[in-house]
Structure 1
Amino acid sequence: MNHRTMRRASAAALIAATVTSAAACGPTGGDAGAQNTPSTSPSPAKPKDAFEGLTGAQISDKAKTALKSATSLRVTGDAPDGEGRTLVIDMAMDTAGSCRGTITQPDAGVIEIIKNRSSVFMKGDEAFWRASIASDKNLNAKQADAVLEIVKGRWMKVDKKTARAMIRKDMCDLSAVADELKGDSPTTTSRGADITRAGQALAVVYDRDGDSVTTVHVTKTGKPYPVEIINTGGTDAGSLKFTDFDKPVDTTPPPADQILDPRKLNR
């Protein structure tokens, strides 16, 4: 599950978060004359390592298989768009191609998306619409202001062709993401020290490709889902976070009175 695969699959990468762990504290010494009394309580048994004896590549393959078995999830992170810009994505998606979430573009505002099997709805904030209107050289300032008044705060139902231009399939369809996943090479992948985050035990796997290092955090209890993928070095520095596995994606359409009739833009 290397960094090139995840870039293609999700088009997203967050600035890598620094993971710190506190060192365990040793016993505190008593008074000078006090006598240490050995504890008679047995030490708690160390939980069995779910990945004992597995290589980093084997753990990565298990995470890939678990991700392919998920029916839905939520992806959050920053995404290079291939044109030197960074997108901020927060998208819930499922294997039916439905999704709901937001994409924030640098200097071009926020767009909200609701996509189900039959319809696609989008709503941009004022910055998004101003950037979109500015790209239309056929509109003068007065016309642009008139269009902005019509569209701001409103949802629009868009056709499939427009939706395909707006939304990459691998940003909305979990099946497309899973299909892109590839295994890691045993020669470049290794297991690091486990960590615990928010009470959850995670295995840590590293994959190296030249100057780039991809770190994958994999759950050690339940299904071995990858919950975070961090890229450092190279041109794809960042990370993805995966949450809300197998939770239904809410694709309820917006209220009818909040949906703009596109014909109004042609008047």
Structure 2
Amino acid sequence: MVVARTRTTCVLGALLGGALLVSGCGDDSSDDAFSGQKADDIAAKAVAATDKASSVHMKGTAKVKGASTVGLDIRVDDQGNCTGTISGDGARAQLLRSKGGDVLIKGDRAFWTNSARAGGGDAKQGEQLAGKLAGKWVTAPADGPDAAFCDKKRFLASMDQDKTERQGMKRGTETEVDGEDALTLEKEQEGNRISMHVATEGEPYILKAATAGSEDSTMTFDDYGEKVKVQPPSQDEIVDPADTQA
């Protein structure tokens, strides 16, 4: 996967300018791992295995044109559970979702100020919104754009939108990612060095994706198949944004 400029809207769009995208393909080599398999076939298997995993922990940063560094630390499963944080442009928000219900967002003042600005509001409106919602759990529809990072299938699909991103990668060296053996797939593209690290034991999961160059980014993928533990707040701690309208 390489960096994709996948755009989210509404609340999360105010914070994040893009998301990481994994891809890769290309030439063969004589490495023992995935013996006889070409890079494009290995990459395809890695993307498929990652998509089929029951859960995954995704953590990393991305530098996006016209935006500051974006941070992501999310645990999500295929049962609709999600917990973690997103950060960027001086803002930070927690995300939480239980069993496919509404996504809950708890953002700081900068998060809600940015949200108002993204929606066309001025500084005064941003301060008003932040005053009402900062530090509170706010509901967001499960099928809305703000739920993208808490929908495993949807998020991973967004990371693989452009299939041409998988072309031209070559097999690199065998290495380790957080103690797990991995094969490196890599390529040079538009002044960036793109790499993907694929697990060589067990399922061929993606363990790390990185871009080094004009838009540095690194995303790690771990804790595959582990239970995502969610502790929902009590109902009286949750705010419906409609109730804050003047």
* Percentage identity across paired residues of the two chains: 25
Contact 1:12 1:240 in 2 (8 A): no
Partners of 1:55 and 1:9 lie apart in 2 by: 31
Structure 1 range deviating more: 57-66 or 212-221: 57-66
Partners of 1:115 and 1:97 lie apart in 2 by: 7
**Computing the radius of gyration over CA atoms, which structure comes out larger, 1 or 2?**
1
2:195 is aligned to 215
Partners of 2:189 and 2:180 lie apart in 1 by: 28
2:223 is aligned to 244
SS in 1 for 2:74: strand
SS in 2 for 1:76: strand
Segments ≥4 residues shifted beyond 6 Å: none
SS in 2 for 1:61: helix
For 2:220, give the aligned amino acid: K
For 2:223, give the aligned amino acid: D
1:76 to 56, 59, 62: 59
SS in 1 for 2:61: strand
For 1:104, give the aligned amino acid: S
2:151 is aligned to 173
Partners of 1:211 and 1:250 lie apart in 2 by: 41
Contact 1:12 1:239 in 2 (8 A): no
Structure 1: 5+ residue stretches without partners: 15-47
Partners of 1:66 and 1:160 lie apart in 2 by: 25
1:17 is aligned to none
Mapping 1:69-218, distance limit 5 Å: 69-80=52-63, 83-107=66-90, 109-116=91-98, 117-132=100-115, 136-137=121-122, 139=124, 144=128, 148=130, 150-159=132-141, 163-164=144-145, 166-167=146-147, 169=148, 171-179=149-157, 181=160, 182=163, 184-185=166-167, 188-218=168-198
TM-score (norm 1): 0.67
Q: State whether structure 2 residue 232 is matched by structure 1 residue 256.
A: no
Partners of 1:210 and 1:148 lie apart in 2 by: 40
Aligned length: 221
Partners of 1:226 and 1:213 lie apart in 2 by: 17
Structure 2: 5+ residue stretches without partners: 9-17, 22-30
